[in-house]
A and B are shown apart, each in its own frame.
Chain A
Amino acid sequence: MFHRIDSPAPCEDQSAAVGTARAQAWRPGIASDEVPHGEVFASGRDGTGAGLALALALDRIAASSPDPLADAPDQRMWLWVQDRDALRRTGRPYRPGLPRALRHRLIHVAAASAEDALFALEEGLRCRDLAFVIGEIAGNPKALSFTAQRRLSLAAQRHGVPLWLVRLDAARDLSSARMRWQARPAPSPHPRWNAAAPGVARWRAELFRARRHPPGEWLLHEEEGRLVQQALLRAGEATRLSNDARPAAAAR
């Protein structure tokens, strides 16, 4: 189970790797029965981490209920946990700026330390009345060990509540997260009416480790609650195990 980022993964990952030959490349809106425990690494100087995590959550909600008329919309609350350092670096959620479908359902937890934040995350994953959980933890605190990550993974899987953990200014340490992303900002598309103005947020998202998908890099932005893929930077052809392969080319 234990694997390192910088070495070829042994045992279980090997079987996953054999699967990667047949594995599907990740794409936005992919419907998966696996309850995600995702990790998004991002800089603490911008809001890309939280932005991408929210977009991934929205994308999963949209993908899991393909027909909006088929069922009553999900109106469960969702949880956003921040430790003190993350709150100081990137600020507090701002209701008018949140996606419209989510803004009235937010429960925010301002935890004093990473331990408290992890406690809140785990309690949130055990709660059946939450739609999803987003955590934001700065740096590599001691409390966020591999064991703690594994507890979160198991809780998410057992109770079916998805989790995206945003890691601000953190090194890529050991983790049991199912999908690990590196988020960077990307220049936004030009708006239609004012080309000099900033457009919708766009991210350069690199999937550097996933259990079911080969690694890859995408330019993503959100449109009406769904992720839209702008240009495929490195497609699913990456079947090799090594992670040191550079991205093939810039956006085409």
Chain B
Amino acid sequence: MPGPLPLHDSGAAPSAPFSPQPERRVLSIWLWQLAMDRWRLGEGLAEGEGADAAPLALVDETARGVRIAAANRAGLAAGAAPGMSLADARTLCPQLATAPSDPASDLAFLEKLALWAQRWGPWSALDPPDGLIVDVTGVAHLFGGEEALLADVRAALARRRLEGRLAIAPTAGAAWGLAHYGPDGAVLQPGDNAERRLGQLPVAALRLDDDVLLVLRRLGLKRLADLSGVAREALVRRFRNRRSPAANPLIRMDQLLGRVPEPMLPVIAVHAPLVQRRLMEPIRHRDLLDRVVTDLAEDMARELEGQGLGARRLELAMWKVDGEVVTRRLELAAPSRDAVHIASLFGRKLDDVDAGFGIEMVRMRSAWSENVALSQGDFEVAAEGHGTSLAAFIDRLAVRLGARAVRRPVPRASHVPERAQAWIGALEPGKTLQEAFEFHHRPLKLLDSAERIAVLYASPDGLPRRFRWRGEVHEIARVEGPERISPEWWRERSSVRLRDYYRIEDSEGRRYWIYRDGIAGDGRGGDAQGRPPDWFLQGICG
């Protein structure tokens, strides 16, 4: 999904008769009974029919007990309100029936509705938890005017047995406020004086957080007109450190009047390429399954090629006769639509699939695709002998050894040696980082954890003479050091000691990188007990 698309409101500018940009028109739909409507749809009931005739509430299990998320008409009439605890509601209405609420499904339903709502405008956005915003700029005449457009929306919602409150205004903020707190089906014309028309709406119409609403209520500012009555400077000072629009009534007011733009995130339908094979006879043998997967990979490659895409993540689902579904997932290092490659990668993942009584349907879906331009195929036979590409090589290794086994080192901004390199995926782009200064030699290899060594030295903070590592004694012939590296106090505890690194070469010419953890008298680690600092071998030079 692309980034937020700014909805440039031009409400503040006076509308010229031949303005190149038409006045923006935004439709807000508030499905104020969304959860209840969805419950009724799931139960197959009409409004006020069957179980819906009696008081009923959808409840949520929260940390503070069971709370009511939504209630039907009878329930609302009996006194159950959203946000109330179930025990309180039961005292008002003992016969209140309950059903569990499902906010995640509500949101998924709302996403589908947002796509469906694009029948009235080129793009739509979600307004969670229960609203939709549709841009209807310049489309009202297709429905015969804005009133007719609203009637069409209402009829379409009624056909889906949804209850909505609608409003059209030049800005999303104004449309939202009118839909929630204005008369149903309100239309704010571009020429209207928005400040006067909306002045009688409560401040809650500004889409503010609850604590800000509380502040405004304590200040005695109850309606939008009250806000314009106060000097702007006073409000600016009162809310000077509120940056978020939902916490600052001035920003919300400007958005409502179209003085500042309000970016919205449009909903865009993405169709994942999907291919499937229904099998006449359930298959139980591996070679047949491989054949089907190869066919599917070829279908998928054709599908992807038609859309100019390459797959990054593929899902292969196998439906078995006994109703079970086996799924295998695959992630590719670079977008690809090479059917042979995909089939061979899946081939490795199918070894542990238990066919049971047989597999009757196989489906392959590309859950994540990226653009890949069309390219000319090799027209030389000799090109086939030229080996695999890097991405195919990485994929093969990752499938057999695991993605964490194939990595590459990238520099990291740290001066502690083991932290100065990070490992990322082989084809992931690394962060751009300034190369560190190279004042000192670094070893070719670093042990995963530094190994403790016993060191003989002339004085505790002097040069080492001899050390024992992995059961063998090394005479130190040459030393360079110390290179003192302090702990990174912003990442580590205060008890971490500094390190004095020495680059050494023993009498046979073997080169190592060792360090002393702390100095005598620094009061950290074993120093409090009077023990001398420990020595560690961390790096091995080439």
The answer to whether B397 and A91 touch across the interface, beta carbons within 8 angstroms, is: no
Say if the beta carbon of B247 comes within 8 Å of chain A: no
CB contacts (< 8 Å) of B280 on chain A: these are none
Count of chain A residues with Cβ under 8 Å from any Cβ of B?
A: 52
User: How does the 8 Å CB contact mask read for A148-192 relative to B, with 1 for contact and 0 for none?
Assistant: 000000000011010000000000000000000000011110000
B442-492 contacts to A, CB under 8 A, are: 442-448, 470, 472, 477-480
B-side contacts of A26, CB under 8 Å:
none
Against B, the Cβ 8 Å flags (1 = close, 0 = not) of A128-155 are 1110000000000000000000000000
Contact A196 B480 (CB under 8 A): yes
Find out whether the CB atom of B472 lies under 8 angstroms from the CB atom of A45: yes
In the complex the two chains form, what is the Cα distance from A52 to B443 in whole Å?
Answer: 14
B94 lies within 8 A of chain A by Cβ: no
CB contacts (< 8 Å) of A98 on chain B: these are 444
Question: How far apart sit A108 and B447, CA to CA, in the bound complex (Å)?
Answer: 15
Please determine whether B426 and A51 come into contact, CB atoms closer than 8 angstroms.
no
Is A127 among interface residues, defined by CB-CB distance under 8 A? yes
For window 38-57 of A, CB contacts with B under 8 Å fall at 45-48, 50-52, 54-55
Determine how close the nearest CB of chain B comes to the CB of A130; give it in whole angstroms: 7
Is the beta-carbon distance between A45 and B396 smaller than 8 angstroms? Answer: no
Query: Using an 8 Å CB-CB cutoff, how does the interface string of B387-403 with A read, 1 for contact, 0 for none?
Result: 11110111011001100
Q: Are A93 and B508 in contact (CB under 8 A)?
A: no
Q: Which residue of A lies closest to B540 (CB)?
A: A47
CB pair A108–B539 under 8 Å, yes or no, is no
A178 → B minimal CB distance (Å): 20
Tell me if B407 is interfacial: C-beta within 8 Å of chain A. Answer: yes
A90 and B393 contact, Cβ closer than 8 Å, known pairs A45-B470, A188-B509, A198-B480: no
Which of B392, B508, B510, B539 touches A94 (beta carbons < 8 Å)? B539
The one of A87, A97, A109, A161 in contact with B448, judged by C-beta atoms closer than 8 angstroms, is: A87
Residues of B within 8 A of A77 (CB): 390, 408, 426
Say if the beta carbon of A207 comes within 8 Å of chain B. no
Say whether, besides A185-B511, A196-B479, A90 and B396 are in contact (CB < 8 Å): no
Check A96–B511 contact: CB distance below 8 A: no
- The distance from the CB of A40 to the nearest CB of chain B, in whole angstroms, is 12
What CA separation (Å) do A6 and B139 show in the bound complex? Answer: 90
B442: chain A residues at CB < 8 Å are 94, 96-97
Please, how many angstroms separate the alpha-carbon atoms of A119 and B509 in the complex? 34
Interface residue stretch chosen among A110-118, A208-216, A228-236: A110-118
B77 interfacial contact with A, CB 8 Å: no
How many angstroms between the C-alpha atoms of A116 and B396 in the bound complex? 12
Whether the Cβ atoms of B445 and A47 lie closer than 8 Å is yes
| A106 at the binding interface (Cβ < 8 Å) | yes
Q: In the complex, which residues of chain A have a beta carbon less than 8 angstroms from the beta carbon of B388?
A: 123, 126-128
A6 CB to nearest chain B CB (Å): 26
Task: Name the distance in Å between A166's Cβ and chain B's nearest Cβ.
Answer: 11
Query: Contacts A194-B480, A197-B479; is A97 near B509 (CB within 8 Å)?
Result: no
Q: Cβ of A95 < 8 Å from any Cβ of B? A: yes
Q: Which residues of A contact B420 (CB under 8 A)?
A: 95-96
For residue B140, CB closer than 8 A to chain A, the reply is: no
Interchain CB contact (< 8 A) of A116 among B400, B409, B446, B542: B400
- A116-B510 contact in complex given A126-B388, A159-B387, C-beta closer than 8 Å: no
Asked if residues B393 and A47 are in contact (CB atoms below 8 Å), the reply is: no
Mask, B11-23, CB within 8 Å of A = 1, is 0000000000000
B505 at the interface (CB under 8 A from A): yes
Hey, which bits of chain A sit against chain B, CB under 8 A? Answer: 45-48, 50-52, 54-55, 77, 87-88, 90-98, 103, 106-112, 116, 119-120, 123-124, 126-130, 158-159, 161, 185-188, 194, 196-198, 201-202
Nearest first, the 9 A-B pairs at minimum CB distance are: A51-B542, A197-B480, A129-B390, A198-B505, A185-B509, A128-B387, A97-B442, A91-B445, A127-B393
Given contacts A94-B417, A94-B446, A108-B407, 5 further A-B contacts (CB under 8 A): A50-B445, A92-B447, A96-B420, A116-B405, A198-B511
26 A-B contact pairs sorted by A residue (CB < 8 Å): A45-B470, A46-B510, A46-B540, A51-B444, A87-B448, A90-B540, A91-B445, A91-B447, A92-B448, A93-B445, A94-B417, A94-B444, A95-B409, A95-B421, A108-B406, A108-B423, A109-B397, A111-B401, A116-B405, A119-B400, A127-B388, A127-B390, A130-B393, A185-B509, A196-B479, A198-B480
Measured CB to CB, the residues of B under 8 A from A are: 385-390, 392-394, 396-397, 400-401, 405-411, 417, 420-421, 423, 426, 436, 438, 441-448, 470, 472, 477-480, 503-505, 507-512, 539-542
